[in-house]
Structure 1
């Protein structure tokens, strides 16, 4: 029975009750549909593809200042990073100066004498978006002022500064999942109601399996592992990924954590594998802890290949002002970046898994496929694969994205890979 009628109809008590229930159900359904549509639109607009940018932490730690941030923004433009798609510049822990008499968060006046709003204006003038950092506790990992119980106020402050991205850490917070979900949702709601679109990066290190709940809690990306160190892999075996907090996660360790999480990523929400260590070259600091003595050029290139095909946010953290050619070659490869930014938004699945080899495959929107072949072994090895093993029938043109050329055509591929090398191919079906 319709909720509105042009003619009055006499109804008994049961009919009136059924009508009221029916109208209430329609009303609640409309609210649900509207809210879902709004949230879906909000997420998709912000992160239809994985975010790309640069973050302060692994290079500067908490020793950051306004001058360095401006220089890095300039370097994002002059180096070609912005043109390649790296649109975010994120300030990690250490920018905070406490709260003023109104309990509003303020930046450290020595490090950031002009304030964050002025810095945002400078960064925006370069065509770059600005990110900041806080924590779901009273203090951050570095012991600075955080946002617990000030979520609404801080979100409005960030919005008033024209901030575009918030990384939200979890140091000092309870270990249970229920509290984590509640605290992250509270900040997500505050950001959503702040009057500005702000990307929300959930950073609780994968300990509470955020791929299962973080998007519903309002996150657009969520860290799936312990902090990355500047190394290929741990030198100790681990079974529970929480052990990586104490032994230090390398590139390969994080790949293994993320390899089975493809179903949980897509437009509007991404598995975050942490920052790219490419170009750090063993620098002392956060990424140099727990065995982070640096990777080989081959291993750095593998990180770029694997982060790209697995749809991880591409967040560099090296000194963009002094990048060498080897680092630029890796970070600025637009064909590789295109795999990461493909609008279909499918994270690669690991199709081959054994001690020596991994093969990942990802469908692309135009009908092509991306394939990554990783030699996990510590020595050069030969490998061959028939595309049928990946579920692909027919013949394909093979484009090597690091050589930037077609290297063959057929139903299979064979070749040698260096230790820890990843071949990254784009396959186009031969008609």
Structure 2
């Protein structure tokens, strides 16, 4: 049942005695553009340790990822070692013998920020210690460790929306009281339509779907087995809710995983080809989704590097105007997205959803773009035309990504 933003606001006000706070200025400051980085989950699952994360931090620098803008390392589920005799949450001493604070210092020394994970229940999705009932205590602990970002999951929590609003607001308030700026990523998988309430609850970004799998499309009966196209079709309709400090999170990039067994390989995640991986990068960029790599940065092939390190594509994602592209064409075979950019130029993505290469032509005026434009192909890194439209060949599952400059 669809619940309006007005009902959500009423539920929020009922749940808390304190008046609602305007978080917009803080959110714009904390996440003015979509966060970028690398996350542990798809490659390591909960088998993580400080050695692997330090190695990944080194690789982020050496590979050019940091220079390209990937400035976060996110520790996902599996770092927890329970609570001490004062109920302070602690890291697993075998996995993190030096402690999280020391790891944060190392990551910061590499010019990056460190994110961590918890859950709005007693247990996390992988069965580790969650933060329900310990919000302020855990927020202070994260701040004392110099954490910069919290991904807050929702496994083992009630399905209703009112409880989600209450629990996420409580943690966001705790983070604000912690004495440290910590970006807050809300991860309840879009099932309670967080785009209506998550910004007011204190989030800077919110997941819009179930977890991404390493596949083009969900062909199973399991609604949790999201492919790239499945996530695209949900996220594409939410452009009006995005902007600086409030991002629709389409989940992690699976670029370069090639069907690796593990979380992204579950439920039919058999891997994709490089054309499809390139499409995810194009589509996530033009939709202003966070760009969170999950492959092994220590061992990337040239195709994966080319996709993840394309600075022209990243610039579309990180554009300071903060607009999520609007889907202007959606006819079963073709999707066309349009994203205004800060300098007056426009990004356009053309996706061939079909299973065969096809020719396509489009007049810019049909997208609301009047006049003539110089067309730069951001994957070919060259100007490919000038005029009132474009025509060309698009491979199966390929996304052409253009930057248009009026002439």
Summarize deviations over 1:211-251 as a string: whole Å, max 9, x none: 110000000000000100000011148xxxxx521xx1001
2:80 is aligned with 1:80: no
TM-score (norm 2): 0.95
2:198 is aligned with 1:221: no
Return the match for 2:246 from 269, 272, 276.
269
Q: Which residue of 2 aligns with 1:386?
A: 363
Q: Which residue of 1 aligns with 2:40?
A: 56
2:397 is aligned with 1:420: yes
Return the match for 2:168 from 173, 184, 188.
184
- Number of residue pairs matched? 390
- Deviation for aligned residue 1:330: 0.2
Q: Which residue of 2 aligns with 1:406?
A: 383
Between structure 1 and structure 2, the one with the greater Rg is: 1
What SS does the aligned partner of 2:237 have? coil
Summarize deviations over 1:272-310 as a string: whole Å, max 9, x none: 000000000110000000000001100000000000000
Q: Which has the higher contact order (CA 8 A, sep 6+)?
A: 2
Distance of 1:123 and 1:365 partners within structure 2:
31
- Deviation for aligned residue 1:105: 0.3
- Deviation for aligned residue 1:314: 0.2
Return the match for 2:31 from 13, 22, 47.
47
2:270 is aligned with 1:286: no
Distance of 2:114 and 2:296 partners within structure 1:
17
Distance of 2:285 and 2:74 partners within structure 1:
20
Unpaired runs of 5+ residues, structure 1, are 1-30, 238-242
Q: Which residue of 2 aligns with 1:252?
A: 229
What SS does the aligned partner of 2:175 have? helix
Return the match for 1:346 from 308, 311, 323.
323
Q: Which residue of 1 aligns with 2:195?
A: 211
TM-score (norm 1): 0.89
Q: Which residue of 2 aligns with 1:22?
A: none
Matches within 5 A, 1:300-315: 300-315=277-292
Distance of 1:236 and 1:129 partners within structure 2:
37
What SS does the aligned partner of 1:329 have? helix
RMSD of Structure 2 on Structure 1 (CA) = 1.2
2:129 is aligned with 1:145: yes
Distance of 1:93 and 1:346 partners within structure 2:
31
- Deviation for aligned residue 1:45: 1.1
- Deviation for aligned residue 1:41: 2.5
Distance of 2:115 and 2:32 partners within structure 1:
18
What SS does the aligned partner of 1:268 have? coil
Distance of 1:264 and 1:57 partners within structure 2:
27
Q: Which residue of 1 aligns with 2:147?
A: 163
What SS does the aligned partner of 1:423 have? strand
Q: Which residue of 2 aligns with 1:114?
A: 98
Q: Which residue of 1 aligns with 2:75?
A: 91
Unpaired runs of 5+ residues, structure 2, are 1-17
What SS does the aligned partner of 1:261 have? helix
Distance of 1:168 and 1:358 partners within structure 2:
32
Matches within 5 A, 1:323-342: 323-342=300-319
What SS does the aligned partner of 1:399 have? strand
Distance of 1:166 and 1:235 partners within structure 2:
32
What SS does the aligned partner of 2:223 have? helix
Runs of 4+ in 1 over 3 A off after TM superposition: none
Summarize deviations over 1:71-129 as a string: whole Å, max 9, x none: 00000100000000001000000000000000000000000000000000000000110
2:347 is aligned with 1:370: yes
- Deviation for aligned residue 1:209: 0.5
Q: Which residue of 2 aligns with 1:397?
A: 374
